[in-house]
Amino acid sequence: MRPFSCDSRELRTVAPPHKKILSHGYNQTLLDDGVEAGSTTACIVRLKQSTDCKPVLEYSNLGDSGFVVIRHGEIIFRSQFQCYGRAPYQLAKVPLRFKQYGAIENRPDDADSGEIDVQDGDLVVLATDGVWDNFAPDLQKVPRQFPPALSWRRYWSVELASFVDVVAESPDEAAKNIVVASLRHNLKPDDITVIVAKVVVMASKL
């Protein structure tokens, strides 16, 4: 995430709104003949400035990927998961021959969208469910001590950690540390993608 700066003489949008980004990407995929079928969750955030030159984070999240904002070692905001029972919301491209069997097909408008105020030094962590499934629900406690299968207990000797502690160890290497901890916990193996950004407020131009 690029450093944030504000010139009071000129307020302008430097990127399209997050909802338009999500809709454009989805529509382009539907039109792409090279993509026969598939589905995905989505998480988009964008840093902008308010009318009083304060940093604001816009977001659109669909499904069970998501993001958190960490300030001084505490989670001050977490996006909401969207699920039908145990199945996450998802954007999908489904061939007509498969539609008769039923499929989860959400639209970009179904995403949970909003904006929150952020501050200099805040950490924004975006990740797929391969991360969130492997930490305690509140992300601030150590996850359960044993793996799902009881027969694995005698092999379970790893040191467990809370999500906020993993990030706090080294913000500069937070993404790598989160992936390593997720794989080490291995409570629910899944794909893992992580992006960590730091909000940096630069001095206003005079």
Could you report the per-residue pLDDT of 8-56, keeping only the tens digit for each?
444 444 556 788 899 999 999 999 999 989 999 999 999 998 888 899 9
pLDDT over 70 for what percent of the chain? 79
The DSSP line for 64-124 is S-EEEEEETTEEEEEPPP-EETTEEP-EEE--HHHHTT----B-GGGSEEEEEE--TT-EE
For 57-101, how does the pLDDT look when each residue is reduced to its tens digit (9 = 90+)?
999 999 999 999 999 999 999 999 999 988 899 999 988 777 766
Average the pLDDT over each of 2-11, 19-28, 127-136, 174-183 and give the range with the smallest value. Answer: 2-11
Six-digit token string for 183: 């794989």
pTM of the model: 0.81
* Domains in the chain with CATH codes: 18-198 (3.60.40.10)
**91 pairs with which residues across the strands?**
40, 106
